[in-house]
């Protein structure tokens, strides 16, 4: 399955092969989209683990698409009745 992983910052194109031959695309907002085909969830998790080990902040993961979608304001709010304090 094809996935897009959006990360904070601009990741150098040299990391493509090490991360499993993903396409690396820099966006104007300072993020990077990693797009590639992962044969199963284990392969996707392995790539996410590599990013984590490098200290790279993952913003979103989802089916392959053109750009990163920042989390919506609604998804950042705590459920009703729960105070953010």
CA gap 26, 30 in Å, rounded? 7
Do 70 and 58 form a contact (C-beta atoms < 8 A)? Answer: no
Kindly list the domain boundaries of the chain, sorted by start residue.
2-66
Structure tokens at 10: 């601009």
Q: Among 22, 28, 26, which Cα is nearest to 11's?
A: 26
pLDDT in tens, 11-39: 998 888 888 889 999 999 999 999 999 99
pLDDT at 78: 47
CATH of 2-66, one of 1.10.10, 2.40.30, 3.30.70, 2.60.120: 3.30.70
Q: Which residues fall within 8 angstroms of residue 5, CB to CB, at 6 or more apart?
A: 22, 33, 34, 35, 47, 48, 51, 58, 60, 61
Q: Is residue 73 over pLDDT 80?
A: no
């Amino acid at each position: 399955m094809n996935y897009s992983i959006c990360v904070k910052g601009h990741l150098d194109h040299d990391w493509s092969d090490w991360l499993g031959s993903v396409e690396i695309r820099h966006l104007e907002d300072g993020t990077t989209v990693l797009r590639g085909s992962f044969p199963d969830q284990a392969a996707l998790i392995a790539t996410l683990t590599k990013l984590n080990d490098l200290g790279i902040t993952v913003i979103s993961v989802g089916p392959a698409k053109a750009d990163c979608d920042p989390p919506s304001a609604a998804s950042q709010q705590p459920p009703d009745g729960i105070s953010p304090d």
